[in-house]
Structure 1
Amino acid sequence: MACTCRRLQVPTLFHSELHLLQLFDLFCGRDLLEMMLAITGADELRLLPSYTIRPKMPHLESHNLPWHQDGGLDEHGQPQTRDIADLLEAFGLHDGYFRTINCWAPLVQANKAAGCLRFIPQSHRQGLLSHLELSQTANGGPKHPTQVEPGIMAELEPHAVDIETSPGDLVLFSNLLVYSDQLNERQGYVRWSAEWRYQDAEQVAATEPGLGHIVRSLIDIDNEIQSPQEWALASA
């Protein structure tokens, strides 16, 4: 008997769908925002427009993230071509404050078998590293994500650590930290996660200038999104 098999179409991320009343506290929770103000030294916080929820399907290599720095990617997922000094001003460490902070939260158990994150500790202190374009996308779409040059990773990867997490955990890290994840080897198990980024609003967003949402302001409270209703009505 002949069998015709159809390739499974897997959603790679959810973005516009996140403007729900119930998700206001995830991105705009006051305790978290106060912590972000302290870490960034900002008077206003911008939620960058790259907030997503992602499924990581089992045994699907195209969902693997290569070794990269988020600061090394442009809005098309390709190697940054902007001036390095501008990028470090937007993403780097200045006077003890981080300009941009990544947030990553598991929605289910994210252990090594499920393809947890991998970090290179202290790699953010090396500045912006050289990236190369990959031929295969990690997102299953038209973008071509980048990876840190293999020669550099040959020295860094032996220092990698697995970041195993559980629902309720929140991982904070620099936009210049070198990180990746690994294959989800748990049969029938989808590793769901949320990711988002905050930036000192005085900095020009190096990936998507002018976009995002002001979520906390010490300058003018009317500038910020203050309620679940405002979040639900905000444009993605």
Structure 2
Amino acid sequence: MTGLSSEQVTRFREDGYLLIEDAFDADVLDGLQTELTERIDRWCELALSEGLLSDLLPDAPFDKRLALLSEQLENPGPLLAVVGGKLRTAGMFQILTHPDLLDIVESVIGPEILAHPQFNSRAKLPHQDASVVPWHQDLGYLEADAEETFMVNFWIPLVDATKENGCMEVISGSHRTPLIAHEPGMGPGGNFKGVDDDQLPPGDRVMCAVPRGGVVLIQHKTIHRSVPNVSDHIRWSLDLRYSDPRQPTGRDNVPGFIARSAEHPDEICHSVDQWQSIVAAGGAPSGT
């Protein structure tokens, strides 16, 4: 892919979201998937030695194994934690810096691109309320100084995302809504900040089913949620964000990294090791 067409850019700006079914070669996700499997293996081998697990289920498929392992555990939280959140790994870096994704971002905000510090890996297990995310704006999880920053947010499934396994649902045009007060303890599991139904703006509600190798783009004020996973398998997904490095990120305490730059090519981050060093140092590289 070589970026968005002018028609796609217009739709994204007008609707606040855009579905792209073939954004990049799905094989790009394989490295991260291998890393996730290795993390599960390491945790489970230790859990087996401590008597917490009875079977490592090494032959179970990727989209079912974590759920089956969780069923053996009295408290699956520590296992889920090793594959969730902000994984600063080689596989994640490969996805964040993939040219096809950066071309999409450049189509919208230009060639100065920061890989935003707020990103996540998520495993949405079947029939679990704890992973059902309520209506919210991503800006509701950032500092208010980022409200005017134009962000290009990617929702990327590692498996085909469907209504049955809990894909994203958006309210078309809701990106024009100013930041709404987000209340804590929302969602069926009470685990998230979110927006009450009586505060939702009018607009078509669109279920964003997308295959592996596809993406859903949203803006940081687009109101969206994930629906329950009523399938028999896990909905694995990533949340990635990009913005202009000259604008506030709403995450001043954690740095992102320069993924592309025409003005300052010497500041581009070229490796996962450099990314990790930037985070450890608390800022972007200079003259590297």
* Matching residue of 1:123: 174
Find the aligned partners of 2:187 and 2:238 in 1 and give their Cα distance.
Answer: 23
Could you say which residue in structure 1 is the equivalent of 2:137?
69
Aligned to 2:115: 47
Show the counterpart of 1:146: 193
- Say which SS state the counterpart of residue 11 (structure 1) adopts: helix
Give runs of ≥4 in structure 1 deviating > 6 Å: none
What is the CA distance between 1:231 and its match in structure 2?
4.9
- Aligned residue identity for 1:35: I
Q: Note the alpha carbon deviations across 1:177-209, whole angstroms, 9 max, x for none.
A: 00001111113x111011110011111111345
State which of 74, 82, 88 in structure 1 corresponds to 2:147: 88
The equivalent position to 2:204 in structure 1, one of 159, 167, 186, is: 159
Contact 2:133 2:187 in 1 (8 A): no
Change (3 A) 1:16 1:135: closer
Could you say what secondary structure the match of 1:24 adopts? Answer: helix
Q: How does 1:6-21 map to 2 (within 5 A)?
A: 6-9=74-77, 10-12=79-81, 13-15=83-85, 17-20=87-90
Distance 2:151 2:205 in 1: 22
Which one has the bigger helix percentage? Answer: 2
Gaps of 5+ in 1: 75-79, 91-98
The alignment status of 1:35 with 2:82, answered yes or no, reads no
Match of 1:224 among 268, 277, 286: 268
CA–CA distance in structure 2, aligned partners of residues 51 and 183 of structure 1: 21
Greater relative contact order structure (CA < 8 Å, 6+ sep): 1
1:114 to 142, 165, 179: 165
CA deviation profile, 1:98-131 (whole Å, cap 9, x unmatched)? x111111111121111011100011001222232
* CA distance in 2 between partners of 1:55 and 1:151 (Å): 29
Question: Percent same amino acid among aligned pairs?
Answer: 27
CA distance in 2, matches of 1:61, 1:159: 25
Query: In the superposition, relative to structure 1, how do residues 46 and 88 fare at CA in structure 2: closer, same or farther (>3 Å)?
Result: same
Give the one of 173, 191, 208 matched to 2:235. 191
AA matched with 1:129? I
Match of 1:26 among 95, 102, 121: 95
| Equivalent position of 1:203 in the other structure | 247
Q: Work out which of the residue numbers 29, 35, 56 in structure 1 matches 2:124.
A: 56
CA 1:229–1:208 in structure 2 vs 1: closer, same or farther (change >3 Å)?
A: closer
Equivalent-residue separation in structure 1 for 2:87 and 2:146 (angstroms): 30
CA distance in 1, matches of 2:156, 2:130: 21
Amino acid corresponding to residue 84 of structure 2 in structure 1: F
TM-score (norm 2): 0.63
Structure 2 partner of 1:134: 185
Q: Using the alignment, how far apart are the partners of 1:65 and 1:115 within structure 2? A: 10
SS of 2:199's equivalent in the other structure is helix
Please tell me whether the aligned partners of residues 49 and 208 of structure 1 are also in contact (alpha carbons under 8 angstroms). no
> Deviation at 1:15?
4.3
Aligned length: 206
More strand by share: 1
Distance 1:29 1:48 in 2: 14
The aligned counterpart of 1:177 is 222
Q: Provide, for residues 125-159 of structure 1, a one-character-per-residue CA deviation record: whole Å limited to 9, x for no partner.
A: 12222322226696x9xxx5321233113x54x73
Kindly indicate whether the alpha-carbon contact (under 8 Å) linking 1:19 and 1:231 is maintained by their aligned counterparts in 2.
Answer: no
